[in-house]
Amino acid sequence: MDAEFWDERYAGREQLFSGNVNGVLVIEVAELTAGQALDIGCGEGADARWLAGRGWQVTAIDISEVALRRAAAAAGADGRVAWMRADLTVTPPPAGAFDLVSALYFPLPRQRDHRALRGLLAAVAPGGTLLFAGHDLADLGAHHGDDLDPGDFYLPGEVGALLGAEWTIVVDETRPRVDPAPAGTGHAHDVVLRAQRGR
């Protein structure tokens, strides 16, 4: 799932995702005070645009240049979003820089030393929020549509287990999806982790 994989996937369709903000983001972030946000795996940019519309300054990163060009074109001249190509397994985001780090349905590869994940966690500023959500594996059955093994990537519960004493877990649950499931999938439930870093 490198840059070439994602560039080909985005280039193969005029629009890969719905273009709507993720319902998990709306539910979990709507009441937070706007600040600096990091949108991990921003894709075509719907979440970043929604955050910017609510006063957040957003750094939206993705590994796919195709997705970023599409997202920037849809956003127009909105100076509240900075679109950046980045690979979190190579370069971590700036430490302590973001009041919100959002990683929704982001396939972060599991590593023995958790280096990339720890870099993501370190990006949350004191008092800031981590939002990490994924599909409930119970809905997927034995096979995944992309011939990928979901077990190769971090699940929200695993992320929660790696949080230190300075974190407070606010939400840790499996619940029915707010958004319609993507066509051809069995994604009926989301697993959601929201945690706040201590000051």
Distance from C-alpha of 133 to C-alpha of 104, rounded to nearest angstrom: 5
Full set of structural domains in the chain with CATH: 3-14+23-197 (3.40.50.150)
* Burial of 164 per CB tally in 10 Å (0-12, 13-18, 19+): exposed
pLDDT one digit per residue (tens) for the chain, 199 residues: 666 765 677 676 676 565 689 899 999 999 999 999 999 999 889 999 999 999 999 999 998 888 898 898 888 767 899 999 999 889 999 999 999 999 998 888 889 999 999 999 999 999 999 999 988 877 765 444 555 666 788 999 899 999 999 999 999 999 998 877 666 666 788 999 999 999 8
pTM: 0.86
Return the sign of the alpha-carbon dihedral for residues 98, 104, 109, 114: positive
Q: What DSSP string runs through 130-168?
A: EEEEEE-GGGTTT--TTS--GGGB--HHHHHHT--TTEE
Instruction: List Cα–Cα distances, 161 to 34, 85, 111, 138, 172, in angstroms.
Output: 27, 29, 15, 20, 11
